[in-house]
Chains A and B, each alone.
Chain A
Amino acid sequence: MHEPTLLSVRHLGKHFTLHTQGGTTMPVLDEISFEVARGECLVLDGPSGAGKSTLLRCLYGNYLASSGEIQVREAGGLMRIDVAQATPQQIIELRRTTISYVSQFLRVIPRVSAIDIVAEPLQALGRDAGAARDKAAVLLARLNLPERLWHLPPATFSGGEQQRVNVARGFIAEKPIMLLDEPTASLDAANRAVVVAMIREACLRGAAVVGIFHDAEVRDAVATRRLPLSPIVAEQLAA
Chain B
Amino acid sequence: MKPAIPLLQVKDLAKFYGNRVGCEQVSFNLYPGEVLCVAGESGSGKSTLLNTLAFHQRPDAGSIRYDLREEGVTDLATLPDARLRELWRTDWGFVRQNPADGLRMRVSAGANIGERLMAVGDRHYGDIRGVAKDWLQRVEIDETRLDDAPSSFSGGMRQRLQIARNLVTEPRLVFMDEPTAGLDVSVQARFLDLLRRLVAELRIAVILVTHDLAVARLLAHRLIVMRHGRIVETGLTDQLLDDPQHPYTQLLVSSVLNA
- Residues of A in contact with B (beta carbons under 8 Å apart): 16-20, 57, 61-64, 74, 79, 87-93, 109-112
Max chain B C-beta neighbours (<10 A), residue from A87, A88, A90, A110 = A88
Instruction: Tell me which residues from 26 to 48 in chain B have a Cβ below 8 Å from any Cβ of chain A.
Output: 31, 34
Interface residue B239 (Cβ < 8 Å from any Cβ of A): yes
**Are B247 and A111 in contact (CB-based, < 8 A)?**
no
Residues 150-205 (chain B) with a chain A CB within 8 angstroms: 189-190, 192-193, 196
B137 in the interface (beta carbon within 8 A): no
User: In whole angstroms, what is the CA distance A63 to B245 when docked?
Assistant: 10
CB pair A93–B2 under 8 Å, yes or no, is yes
Could you say which residues of chain A place their CB within 8 Å of the CB of B34? 89
Interface residues of B (CB under 8 A from A): 1-2, 31, 34, 189-190, 192-193, 196, 218, 221-222, 235-236, 238-239, 242-243, 245-247, 250-251, 254
In the assembled complex, 27 residue pairs joining A and B whose CB atoms fall closer than 8 Å, in A order, are A17-B245, A18-B250, A19-B247, A19-B250, A19-B251, A20-B250, A61-B236, A61-B239, A62-B239, A62-B242, A63-B242, A64-B243, A74-B1, A79-B1, A87-B2, A88-B222, A88-B235, A88-B236, A89-B34, A90-B2, A91-B236, A91-B239, A92-B221, A110-B189, A110-B192, A110-B193, A110-B218
For residue A110, which residues in chain B have a CB less than 8 angstroms away from its CB?
Answer: 189-190, 192-193, 218
Instruction: State whether A109 and B222 are in contact (beta carbons under 8 Å apart), knowing that A62-B242, A63-B242, A91-B236 are contacts in the complex.
Output: no
- What is the CA–CA distance of A64 and B243 in the complex, to the nearest angstrom? 7
Task: Say whether B193 contacts A111, CB under 8 Å.
Answer: yes
In the complex, are the beta carbons of A109 and B2 less than 8 A apart?
no
Are B192 and A63 in touch, CB under 8 angstroms? no
Closest residue of chain B to A58, judged by CB?
B243
CA distance A49 to B229 in the complex (A): 39
Nearest residue, chain A, Cβ from B242: A62
Please give the distance in Å from A179's CB to the nearest CB on chain B.
14
* Nearest Cβ on chain B to A221's Cβ, whole angstroms: 30
Distance of A93 Cα from B242 Cα, bound (Å):
19
Given A92-B236, A109-B218, A64 and B190 touching (CB < 8 A)?
no
Within the complex, the shortest CB–CB distance from B240 to chain A, in Å, comes to 9
* Shortest Cβ distance from residue B131 to the other chain A in the assembled complex, whole angstroms: 24
B247 contacts across to A, CB distance below 8 A: 19-20
